[in-house]
Chain A
Amino acid sequence: MKRVLLASIAACVAMLPAGSLRAQESIKVGVLVSYSGMTSLGGQQTDAAIKLFQSKYGDAPGGHKIELIRRDTTGPNPEVAKRLVQEAVTRDKVQILLGPDFTPNTLAAAPIVTEAKVPTFVIGAATTGIIGEKSPYLTRTFFATPQLCKPLAPYAVKNNWKNVFVMVADFAPGHDCEKIFIDALKEAGGTLAGNLRIPTRNPEFSAYTQRIKDAKPDAVFIFMPLGELSLGSLRAMSDSGLKAAGVKIMGTGDITDESYVDAVGDAALDVITTGMYSTQHNSAMNKEFVAEYTKLNGASPRMGWGAIAAWDALRLVYDGLEAQKGAKFDPDKFMAFVRGRTFESPRGPITIDKGNGDIVQNVYIRRTEKVNGVLQNVEIETLANQSFK
C-alpha cells in the first residue's frame, strides 16, 4: 500500500514538468542549519540531500513552487538561531522550516514557530521533551535520544556482557543518555561497573581508560558528541589495550559516524553501536539512494545522518504539499497530514506519531566492519518501531 502510494506520487511528479504547472503561490521553505565552523558538515549534508531530492522530484510539489531560504546557524547558538527564525518568519515569510539544528537552537525557535504557525522539521536535535511539548508545529525526522541510548543495555545483557562501564560526555545530552542507559541496564538485570563523565574539551583519555581497566567491566558504553571526543575515546579504548583484553566497546552511532570513522581507523573495528541509519542498510531503496547521492555529491565527505534527516523531512514536505494541491497553504492541515504518516525511507519504515509528532522508527544494532576495505556500520540486528520515549 505504502509503496503504491509512493509510486503514484512519484508518477504524478514525473508527469508534471515544472513549466506546465498552473501558476500557484510559491512556498518558502527555510533551511536553518550550520554552514560554517566546526559543525559545517551538517549543513553540507543537508544541502547535498536537498539537491538530490529536487533533482529527482522537481521543485514544485502540488504546484507549489518551492523557494529555499538558507541561513547559517553557525552551530549550537540559540541567540543566533532565534534571530534567524524571527527574520525568516517575519521578513522572509517562510511557511515551512527545516531546522534549526541542535537542541538549544530548537528550543529557541519553538515559541516563534508556534506563534507564527510554521510547521518545523527537527533534523538535527535528539533531546527528549521538545517534540510534542514545546510546540504543536514541531515534528522530527532525526532520532530521539532514548531510541539510541536504550537498546544496547538489554543487548549487552543478552550477550552476557553483564557488567557494563558507562562513559558519557559531560553535557546535557550526555547526562540524558547516561540515565536512560543505566536505567535500562538495571531493568535488564545487568550491573553498573562504574561511570565517568568526560569534560567536553578533553584531549587526554589515559586516566579514564585506567579507571575502566581497574573496574574490570565486560563492556563499555560510550556516548560522545560527533567530533574529536568520539575519535579520542575510541582511539583510547584501543591504544590502552582495553579492546585487546576483550572488553566490548559499545555506543550510540555518533562515535562511528561515517563522516570521520576513517580517521578513527582500525580502533573502530568491531565496535557495537545503535543507529537509525547506515549507508549499508540493505534495501533496494537505500542502495539507489546511496548510489545517487554519491554520484551527485561525490564520495567524500561520506554521507552521515544529516543527509537522511533532511531527505525524509523533504519527503514529508513534498507529500504534504501534494495533498494540498490547488489550495492555499494551510499550516494546520499540513501538520494534520504529517502527523500519523507512515512511509518507507532509505533507513527503513518510519512513522510520525499522530499524538506527539515525534518519530517512531527502526533502530539497528550495528558492528563496525571493513567492507571492501572501507570501515562501515553493518547492521546486525533490527529493533522494529522503537518509540521516542
Chain B
Amino acid sequence: MTSIATVLFNGVAYGMLLFIMSVGLSVTLGMMNFVNLAQASFSMFGGYIVVLVVQRLGLPFLVSLPIAFIIVGLFSIVIERLVFRHFYGTDDLTQVLLTIGLVFMSISTASYFFGGTYQRIDMPAWLSGQRDIFGLTLERYRIFIVVSGAILSLVLILGLERTKLGGMVRACVDNPRAANGCGLNTQMIFAVTFAIGGGLAGLGGALSANLLGIDPNFPLRYLVYLLIIVSVGGMGTIGGTLIAAVTLGVADVAGKYYFPSFGGFVIYAITIAVMLWRPRGLLGRTA
C-alpha cells in the first residue's frame, strides 16, 4: 500500500516537473502559434542562471528562481525582436528549422562559456533528503516541485486564460489586422507574451536543474519530452498541458514500477494513442 502511494506521488511529482518544463512552450506554441524549439534552450539558460546565482554569487536557491524568470524573459524579448518576429507568418517547417538552428547555437555557446561538463548545484538542506508525511517517506525536493507546479498552474490559468491579456493575445494571433484596427498594439502584445513564455521556460529550467543536471546538451535531451507534453495536452491550453503532464508522469513512473522491462515505453505508447484519438491533443482547440 505505501509503495503504491509513493509511486503515485512520485508520478505526480514527475508530471509536475514535465509541466513546469513544457508550459513555456505551450504558451508560445499554443497562444502565439509559433513553433519555438529553442524554448528548451531558454530552459537551459535558466538552469545556468541558477548555477551562477547559487554557486558563484552564493545567493539562496529561492532567490535564483525569479532571477531566472526575469533574465530569460528579457532575453527572449531581445531574440523575439531581433529574429523571431520576422518569421511569424511563415510555415511550420521554416520555424522548426530556424529554431532548431538556434538550439545548436545555444549548445555551442553554453559549451564555450561553461565547458562541456555537468554543473554543480548545491541545494539548501530543507530541500534535500526525505520527509515523512502521512506515513509515507517522500523526497523533499519532489514535494517542493509539486507545490510549485500547483501554484504555477493556478497563476497561469487565472492570469493568462481568464484575463483581458489572454483575450488580447488570442485576438492578435487569430486576426492581427482586425486586432490592430481595434487599437491593440499587436507588436507589443506579441513581445510580452513571448517574454512570458520564455521566462516560464527559464523558470522551468531553474526548477528542474537539480533533478536533471545542467550541461550544454540539455536542450536536445529534453526537447522531445516538451513536444510530447504540449502535443498530448493540446496547444495553447494550460489546463491541457497540466493534465497531459501529470497523466504521462504517473503512467511513466507506474509503468516502470510494475513492468520494468518495457515501462520506458509507456509514455510513448500513450502519446501515440492520444494522437490517434485526438490529433489536436486532449484539450486542443479546433481551429
Contacts and interface: CB of A to CB of B under 8 A. Distances in A.
Interface of A: 37-38, 40-41, 44, 170, 196-199, 201-204, 206-208, 210-211, 213-214, 228, 231-232, 235, 239-241, 244, 259-260, 262-263, 265, 300-301
Interface residues of B, number: 43
B120 A262 contact: yes
A293 to B, nearest CB: 16
A211 B259 CA distance: 11
B contacts with A: majority SS? helix
Nearest to A41: B116
Given A203-B222, A207-B254, A241 B116 contact: no
Nearest to B225: A203
B130 A263 contact: no
A149 to B, nearest CB: 21
Q: Which 4 A-B pairs have the closest CB atoms?
A: A199-B264, A263-B118, A207-B256, A206-B10
Contacts of B212: 203, 228, 232
A72 to B, nearest CB: 14
Given A206-B10, A239-B139, A259-B117, 18 more contacts: A38-B216, A197-B260, A201-B264, A203-B225, A204-B252, A207-B7, A207-B10, A207-B254, A207-B256, A211-B257, A228-B215, A231-B118, A231-B213, A239-B128, A239-B129, A241-B139, A244-B129, A263-B118
A201 to B, nearest CB: 7
B187 interface: no
Interface string B238-282: 000000000001001111110011011000000000000000000
Contacts of B93: none
Nearest to B249: A204
A contacts with B: majority SS? helix
B221 interface: yes
A7 B137 CA distance: 60
Contact of B111 (A40, A201, A260): A40
A260 B10 contact: no
B253 A206 contact: yes
Contacts of B120: 262-263, 265
Given A207-B10, A263-B213, A240 B139 contact: yes
